[in-house]
A = this chain, B = another copy of it.
Amino acid sequence: MSPGWDRDGDGEVRDMSQAERVAELFFREQRRFIDAFASRDGGGEFRVAPWERAHLGGGRAGILEDGDVFERAGVNVSLVHGTQVPESIVETRPHTRGRPFTATGISLVLHPRNPYAPSVHANFRYFGVGDDEWWFGGGCDLTPMYGFDEDAVHFHRTLKAWCDRHDPSWYPRWKATCDEYFSLPHRNEMRGVGGVFFDHLTGDGATAFDRHLRAVTDGLATILPAYLPILDRRHAMPYGERERTWQLVRRGRYVEFNLACDRGTRFGLQTGANIEAVLMSLPPLARWGFDVRPEPGTPESEVARFLQPRDWARAG
């Protein structure tokens, strides 16, 4: 049995739907992430912006700009619904056409100021169709501007440990999906060192839902231990104009992926839910140069070997 939720604050506790339970988790986790990142930053403050769209739903965007550690940190949660499953879902799941849906998601992205500190992105989402079909999706990936083997190894091992606590078949599959999805085909390179990504985690009945909700809850609890030790190692490393310029070039690639390749961003822009929240993942500043090719042997040229699929969990 699902726990009750005093939705209106009137003391009356009703049973929550699956989507409501997931959204409650996401909103709670959002507060926890915001507190953790604000405390880690020290200087900047989060601006929290609730939003609502008639006949669609709403959400809560949390954003820190121009902080000491983070040049941009964002954590968004949304809960939307509709009478018709959106076209982008119908394309891959035609039987859902014309059915009502509820969707909720949490996404976070961190763009640290220090070029040696990687950007990180995570997203978890739940999609329900009618009363009888539902699935989870999500993932987490790391985008270094400078390559450090130990960072990639730590990140992947932490994610693998999370997956293995729930189903040992997940990590290899989700890692491969992430390598493939978070890539720039036109440059034949990945956005970063990948991570894990899964699209349609489902099962039969309330037991499967409860089990997967536990895995997602555990996944959300894995983001900080996967990322913060890396940030702690890098955020105070000395750097100069050269490293800053390279960081902005690599962020240009991040923008290329998000705007030209990412189906999620395109879907968000097309449905027009909340443009600012959809584009929150973009870095604060990015640069494009013509045919930028780092000199062989430099730390900048070394990054290339981090942008191809590699079994980081076994490496080192």
Residues of A within 8 A of B (CB): 47, 49, 61, 63, 65, 74, 185-187, 248, 252, 255-256, 259-260, 265-266, 269-270, 272, 275-276, 279-280, 282-291
Query: Chain B residues with Cβ under 8 A from A61's Cβ?
Result: 290
Most buried by B among A63, A74, A276: A276
Task: Verify A290–B272 contact, CB threshold 8 A.
Answer: no
Number of this chain's copies in the complex:
2
Query: Chain B residues with Cβ under 8 A from A186's Cβ?
Result: 269-270, 272, 275
Task: Verify A284–B288 contact, CB threshold 8 A.
Answer: yes
CA distance A238 to B282 in the complex (A): 30
Kindly report which residue of chain B lies nearest to residue A256, judged by CB atoms. B259
Query: Chain B residues with Cβ under 8 A from A256's Cβ?
Result: 259, 279
Which 10 residue pairs are nearest across A and B when measured between Cβ atoms? A259-B259, A186-B269, A259-B260, A282-B288, A63-B290, A276-B291, A285-B287, A186-B275, A286-B286, A186-B272
Task: Verify A290–B285 contact, CB threshold 8 A.
Answer: no
Kindly report which residue of chain B lies nearest to residue A276, judged by CB atoms. B291
Query: Chain B residues with Cβ under 8 A from A289's Cβ?
Result: 65, 284
Q: List 5 A-B contacts (CB under 8 A).
A: A49-B291, A74-B290, A259-B259, A282-B288, A284-B288
Task: Verify B286–A290 contact, CB threshold 8 A.
Answer: no
Kindly report which residue of chain B lies nearest to residue A288, judged by CB atoms. B282
Task: Verify B260–A265 contact, CB threshold 8 A.
Answer: yes
- Smallest distance from the beta carbon of A40 to chain B beta carbons, Å? 19
Sample of 12 further A-B pairs with CB below 8 A, known A186-B269, A260-B266:
A49-B290, A63-B290, A186-B275, A252-B282, A260-B265, A280-B290, A282-B288, A284-B288, A284-B289, A285-B285, A285-B286, A286-B286
CA distance A38 to B258 in the complex (A): 34
Task: Verify A248–B187 contact, CB threshold 8 A.
Answer: no
